[in-house]
């Protein structure tokens, strides 16, 4: 198979920072379904850039967006100092998401009527907030992002939501799974939740080292399964048809 993937670094302002995203375009010339891909709290790194590339190889326009102004935090305390206030502020999350969405929609290859979002951790929380803001996404897929929103706003989500989480994730315990499920169900959302048995936080991320802290570990089998589950969501909601 010959792939003629094109990638581009895109800079744009959001949240008082200059965000540095990674845009991946599929072969061909026409409009294609487009995916917003949100990274976890530490920021955008090559793991997520390569996922955007993988989506482009499947025929999607994909933007791996930035949440930290070009930074990848290796120090957990520095990461939390950025992520925790952000996660507590739906309006800031929406601004970051809208800015990325504007970049994606401005790309001529993007079919603006077929945009879906997938995200990990903080990036997933941002996509859920776009949904709660009523943005027309065709699917929202998240991993480790069982964040609940402001009362009543989940009713604005009009697309299927798929969420994945590790059973042993200390940051996303059973009580949070239940709270997220209850919010989605009360809002009448078409939702699903997959619990990956034995998986800890960041289970999907090959560069995470177990030593970072207890409860954080890469789980290769579930990482691969979760990627397949996300691709199945996209195939259902925004199939590549041309």
Binding site for a second copy (CB under 8 A): 161, 167-168, 174, 178, 181, 184-185, 188-198, 221-222, 225, 228-229, 232, 236
Task: Find the shortest distance in angstroms from Cβ 237 to a second copy.
Answer: 11
CB of 22 to a second copy, least distance (A): 28
Nearest partner of 133 among 92, 188, 194, judged by Cα? 92
Shortest separation between residue 70's beta carbon and a second copy, angstroms: 36
Which residue's CB is nearer to a second copy, number 25 or number 127? 127
For a second copy, give the closer residue by CB, 28 or 188: 188
The alpha-carbon radius of gyration of the chain (Å, integer) is: 16
**Closer to a second copy at the Cβ: 84 or 232?**
232
Q: Which is closer to a second copy, CB of 133 or CB of 193?
A: 193
CB of 215 to a second copy, least distance (A): 14
Residues whose CB is less than 8 angstroms from the CB of residue 202 and which lie 6 or more positions away in sequence, other chains included: 40, 121, 144, 208, 216, 217, 218
Helices in the chain by DSSP H: which ranges?
Answer: 46-57, 76-87, 90-106, 122-132, 174-186, 220-237
Residue 223 half-sphere exposure toward CB, CA atoms < 13 A: 16
């Amino acid at each position: 198979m010959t792939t003629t993937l094109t990638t581009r670094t895109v800079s744009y302002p959001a949240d008082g920072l200059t965000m540095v995203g990674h845009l991946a375009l599929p072969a061909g010339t026409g409009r294609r379904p487009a995916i917003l891909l949100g990274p976890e709290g530490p920021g955008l790194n090559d793991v997520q850039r390569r996922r955007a590339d993988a989506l482009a190889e499947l025929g999607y326009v994909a933007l791996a967006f930035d949440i930290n102004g070009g930074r990848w935090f290796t120090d957990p305390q520095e990461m939390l100092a950025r992520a925790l206030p952000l996660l507590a502020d739906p309006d800031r999350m929406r601004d970051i998401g809208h800015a990325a969405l504007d970049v994606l929609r401005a790309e001529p290859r993007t079919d603006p009527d077929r945009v879906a979002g997938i995200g990990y951790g903080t990036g997933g929380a941002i996509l859920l907030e776009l949904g709660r803001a009523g943005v027309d996404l065709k699917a929202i897929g998240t991993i480790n992002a069982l964040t609940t929103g402001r009362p009543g706003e989940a009713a604005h989500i009009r697309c299927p939501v798929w969420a994945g989480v590790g059973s042993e994730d200390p940051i996303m315990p059973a009580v949070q799974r239940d709270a997220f499920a209850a919010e989605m169900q009360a809002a009448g959302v078409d939702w699903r939740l997959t619990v990956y048995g034995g998986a800890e936080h960041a289970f999907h991320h090959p560069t995470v080292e177990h030593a970072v802290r207890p409860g954080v570990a890469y789980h290769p089998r579930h990482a691969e399964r979760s990627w397949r589950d996300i691709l199945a969501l996209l195939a259902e909601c925004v199939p590549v048809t041309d």
